[in-house]
């Protein structure tokens, strides 16, 4: 098993246990040296995409939630539209006992968007729905206004099925750093400025020293 232990805002101790744990899980929780990578669109096509396609990142848990085979009773909101809809559920990292570390994720229904890199102006209606309806549902259920939510996507994500993170603004959630979090409102604005914004610009992210993707960037002489 792999896992992490942390101090909750209420002073309680929170333990995350991952079982069974794959090699990938173990690496994630080990402290490691990290390196920044600046990925151009060419790098994405030549290095990152083939790497993603060669890996068997399991996103079955996402499909189980979308198909109501798991966590169906935890759904906070759903827009059932197959193209522009999504499901909003509490993230595994949040036990829902206090609002200080509120954490939900929106999983989109369509299955052909891997990450931020795939987004174009075509996805604007979907992204607007996630932003608007996600904020409304969280205000209604938890009483937290949109002005106190950090709504963002990760690049790189751990799971290549597009999802959006909703966390309490006052909570320093893991992965909300400048090199990983992309605010959804900024993503929407960028796509309005240029429909192919994310197929043009370089994106920065950090990789742990032992991550195979870093090795690929090294082999290509890009780090
Ligand atoms: P990510 O940006 O792909 O990667 O986010 P990260 O895990 O490195 O942040 C995936 C998010 O999904 C994380 O916040 C996870 O805590 C959450 N998550 C992962 N799994 C396997 C589940 C699950 O089965 N149910 C729920 N509700 N959340 C999950």
Q: What does the alpha-carbon distance between residue 102 and residue 173 come to, in Å, rounded to a whole number?
A: 9
Residue 46 falls in which region: left (phi positive, over 0), alpha (psi -120 to 50) or beta: alpha
Tokens 């169906």 belong to 72
Residue of the CA atom closest to atom 6 of ligand 1: 158
Is the CB–ligand 1 distance for residue 105 below 6 Å? yes
189 neighbors 23 (Cβ within 8 angstroms): no
Residue 211's pLDDT is: 95
Q: pLDDT of 131-153, one tens digit each?
A: 999 999 999 999 999 999 999 99
CA of 91 to the centre of ligand 1 (A): 6
- Position 25 pLDDT exceeds 90: no
* Nearest atom of ligand 1 to the alpha carbon of 74: 27
Residue 21's pLDDT is: 74
Residue 56's pLDDT is: 77
Ligand 1, pocket-test mutation among 20, 61, 116, 181, most atoms within 8 A of CB: 61
Where are the domains positioned within the chain? Answer: 1-31, 32-219
- Position 191 pLDDT exceeds 90: yes
CA of 174 to the centre of ligand 1 (A): 11
Ligand 1, pocket-test mutation among 67, 70, 91, 172, most atoms within 8 A of CB: 91
2 neighbors 26 (Cβ within 8 angstroms): yes
CA of 131 to the centre of ligand 1 (A): 18
Residue 18's pLDDT is: 73
| C-alpha dist (Å) from residue 212 to 101, 122, 181 | 32, 32, 21
pTM for the predicted model, two decimal places:
0.89
pLDDT band at 27, cuts 50/70/90? Answer: low
Q: pLDDT of 87-118, one tens digit each?
A: 999 999 999 999 999 999 999 999 999 999 99
CA of 221 to the centre of ligand 1 (A): 31
211: its two tokens: 């991550």
Known active-site residue 165: no
Residue 190's pLDDT is: 98
Is the CB–ligand 1 distance for residue 206 below 6 Å? no
Is the CB–ligand 1 distance for residue 154 below 6 Å? yes
Q: Class assignment of domain 32-219?
A: alpha beta
């Amino acid at each position: 098993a792999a896992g992490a232990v942390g101090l909750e805002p209420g002073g309680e101790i929170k333990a995350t246990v991952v079982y069974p744990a794959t090699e990938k899980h173990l690496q994630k929780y080990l402290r490691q040296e990290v390196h920044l990578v600046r990925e151009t669109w060419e790098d994405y096509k030549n290095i990152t995409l083939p790497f993603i396609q060669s890996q068997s990142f399991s996103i079955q848990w996402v499909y189980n939630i979308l198909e109501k085979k798991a966590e169906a009773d935890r759904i906070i909101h759903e827009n059932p539209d197959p193209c522009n809809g999504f499901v909003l559920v509490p993230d595994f990292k949040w036990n829902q006992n206090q609002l200080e570390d509120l954490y939900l994720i929106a999983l989109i229904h369509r299955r052909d968007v891997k990450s931020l890199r795939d987004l174009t102006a075509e996805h604007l209606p979907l992204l607007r729905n996630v932003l608007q309806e996600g904020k409304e549902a969280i205000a209604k259920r938890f009483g937290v206004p949109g002005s106190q939510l950090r709504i963002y996507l990760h690049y790189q994500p751990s799971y290549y099925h597009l999802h959006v993170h909703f966390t309490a603004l006052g909570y320093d959630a893991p992965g909300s750093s400048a090199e990983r979090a992309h605010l959804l409102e900024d993503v929407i604005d960028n796509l309005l400025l240029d429909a192919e914004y994310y197929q043009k610009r370089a994106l920065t992210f950090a990789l742990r020293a032992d991550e195979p993707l870093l090795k690929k960037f090294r082999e290509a002489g890009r780090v």
